[in-house]
A = this chain, B = another copy of it.
Amino acid sequence: MTRALPTTQRPKNGVPAWLPRSLTGAAGWIDVEPGAYLFHAGDPVRWVYWVEQGVLKLVRYAPDGTEIVLHRAGGGEVFAEASLSAGRYHCDGLCVRESRLLTLPAVPFRQALRNDPDFAEVWREGLARALRSQRARYERLGLKSARARVLHYLVSEGRGEPPAIKLSGTLREWAEELGLAPETLYRTLADLVQAGTVIRNGPIIQLTAY
């Protein structure tokens, strides 16, 4: 059932520096189109992917066919790394937006983790960082009010004293990250500025001091 992967070969630029040579040697670039499946549940694990650009997702399906998204990965992230500790995939991996991926063979990847302590440490740090980030996002979405989510974001992701952030994308994208409709974020931000709780200078958003 797995659709054949596009195999466009690309020059090996942009390979993350933290990958050991034993892996980069066997790696290859591919481009995938939205809707294309990288693998299906049950397929033997062959590759782990590093996402240079684009968006991918891991999905399962409810009996009625409803898609259940387990994870979304974007640029700079590793995709399907859970498969490293499994022989077969436990969900489908598919492309959401046109993506360029670095394919890393799973077997040498596992070997590198066991044999290269430096790589293992970098990998471990990456997992820990991702886990921290994910926990904070989870706690944030547990908050019921838009106001509380925005403040949570500013405090947990912000830098400085008082905390401030610089939006890298659009407000719409931020709204999606916060699990809010864009309109709700617009209004909530306006209210917070109105109330003097935050100050906004274009893409810079800052909590006011005590």
Q: Which of A70, A85, A210 has the most CB of B within 10 A?
A: A70
> Shortest CB–CB separation between residue A181 and chain B, in angstroms?
9
Report B-chain residues with C-beta under 8 Å of the C-beta of A128: 81-82, 84-85, 127
Q: Which of A124, A144, A162 has the most CB of B within 10 A?
A: A124
Nearest CB in chain B to that of A152: its residue = B68
A132 within 8 A of B: yes
A128-B82, A141-B141 known; A136-B63 Cβ under 8 A: no
Report B-chain residues with C-beta under 8 Å of the C-beta of A148: 66
Report B-chain residues with C-beta under 8 Å of the C-beta of A112: none
Q: B121 touching A70 by the CB < 8 A rule?
A: no
A208 and B125 alpha carbons, distance in the complex (Å): 41
Of the four ranges (under 10, 10 to 19, 20 to 34, 35 or more), the interface on chain A belongs to 35 or more
Q: Among the listed B63, B120, B139, which residue makes an inter-chain contact with A162, where contact means beta carbons less than 8 Å apart?
A: B63
Q: Among the listed B60, B84, B114, B208, which residue makes an inter-chain contact with A117, where contact means beta carbons less than 8 Å apart?
A: B114
A134 within 8 A of B: yes
Name A's B-contacting residues (CB within 8 A): 60-64, 66, 68-72, 81-82, 84-85, 113-114, 117, 120-121, 123-125, 127-128, 130-132, 134-139, 141-142, 144, 148, 151-152, 154-156, 162, 179, 197, 207-210
Closest 8 A/B residue pairs (Cβ) = A141-B141, A127-B127, A134-B134, A71-B135, A68-B155, A131-B131, A69-B139, A70-B136
